[in-house]
């Protein structure tokens, strides 16, 4: 009987632990644009059926749905003109994208410490840890949403989300990929991350999109987007050190 109670307790603990882990992923199924309420991003599981087809209940008037259908029809037309294309394997990208969400105020290249300090006067600096990720679609383009638990010292919300231009989805037999060359590989859960951005882009005020991203793996390797073209001595050596550098720049701007 005692061994049964111990076994039951272990099973219960495992269930509770997995429930906590699942609850830690708080990425919404979709994000709406902060102006107009249009879908900005939707989880792949909500846009694509288990059979690998585009969900018929996606509103046709919605930009996300219409862009996906348009891209799909273009690829089907291309396949009819070149039948050998249809023989591609699943792991090959049929439609390849390589750009970020949109051209905006955070797309400029930072070419020096002076340019960086000037930018910091009007931008937010957010740092934390990647705690979850979810693959989804903006228009017809795959994007991964990173969930970031913000550092305790941050003045912003406890949890924010970052739209990262990496990922691949497949529906109706066609594989869509997005790999913006100015971004490094997708950060992993547990990586430390910091980014510079202006205002949130969604209706909840928690989703950001920016080109200026630095993250550090658990092994200590540092990766930064190619928009940070600083002097060699100013390049990020660690997320913590770079975050402190950014904070110091912001404080300096406030004193001036």
The mean pLDDT of 82-93, rounded to a whole number, is 62
Integer angstrom CA distances of residue 223 from 111, 143, 245: 17, 19, 16
State the pTM of this model. 0.80
- The structural domains of the chain, with segments of one domain joined by +, span 32-255
Lowest mean pLDDT among 114-128, 187-201, 242-256: 242-256
- Predicted confidence at residue 61, as pLDDT, reads 47
- Predicted confidence at residue 64, as pLDDT, reads 56
For the record, the structure tokens of 148 come out as 């970031």
3-class secondary structure, 233: helix
- Predicted confidence at residue 55, as pLDDT, reads 80
Residue bearing the bigger pLDDT, 140 or 181: 181
95-105 residue pLDDT tens: 888 766 665 67
104-138 residue pLDDT tens: 677 789 999 999 999 998 899 999 999 999 999 88
Q: Report d(CA 222, CA 238) in Å as an integer.
A: 6
Burial class (CB in 10 A: 0-12, 13-18, 19+), 186: middle
- Predicted confidence at residue 217, as pLDDT, reads 95
What φ, ψ does residue 48 adopt, rounded to 5°? -125, 135
Cβ atoms 121, 202 nearer than 8 A: no
């Amino acid at each position: 009987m005692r061994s049964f109670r111990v076994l039951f307790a272990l099973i219960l603990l495992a269930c509770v632990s997995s429930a906590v882990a699942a609850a830690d992923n708080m990425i919404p199924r979709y994000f709406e644009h902060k102006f107009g309420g249009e879908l900005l991003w939707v989880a792949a599981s909500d846009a694509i059926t288990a059979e690998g087809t585009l969900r018929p209940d996606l509103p046709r008037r919605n930009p996300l749905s219409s862009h996906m259908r348009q891209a799909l029809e273009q690829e089907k037309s291309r396949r009819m003109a070149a039948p050998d294309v249809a023989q591609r394997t699943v792991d090959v990208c049929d439609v390849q994208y390589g750009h970020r969400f949109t051209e905006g105020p955070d797309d400029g290249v930072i070419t020096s410490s002076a340019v960086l300090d000037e930018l910091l006067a009007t931008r937010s600096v957010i740092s934390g840890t990647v705690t979850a990720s979810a693959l989804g679609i903006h228009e017809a383009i795959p994007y991964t949403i990173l969930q970031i638990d913000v550092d305790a010292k941050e003045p912003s919300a406890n949890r924010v989300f970052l739209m990262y231009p990496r990922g691949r989805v497949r529906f109706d037999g066609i594989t869509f990929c997005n790999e913006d060359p100015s971004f490094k590989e997708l950060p992993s859960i547990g990586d430390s991350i910091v980014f510079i951005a202006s205002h949130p882009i969604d209706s909840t005020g928690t989703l950001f999109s920016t080109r200026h991203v630095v993250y550090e793996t658990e092994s200590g390797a540092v990766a930064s987007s190619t928009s940070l073209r600083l002097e060699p001595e100013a390049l990020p050596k660690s997320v913590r050190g770079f975050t402190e550098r950014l904070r110091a720049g912001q404080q300096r701007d406030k004193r001036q």
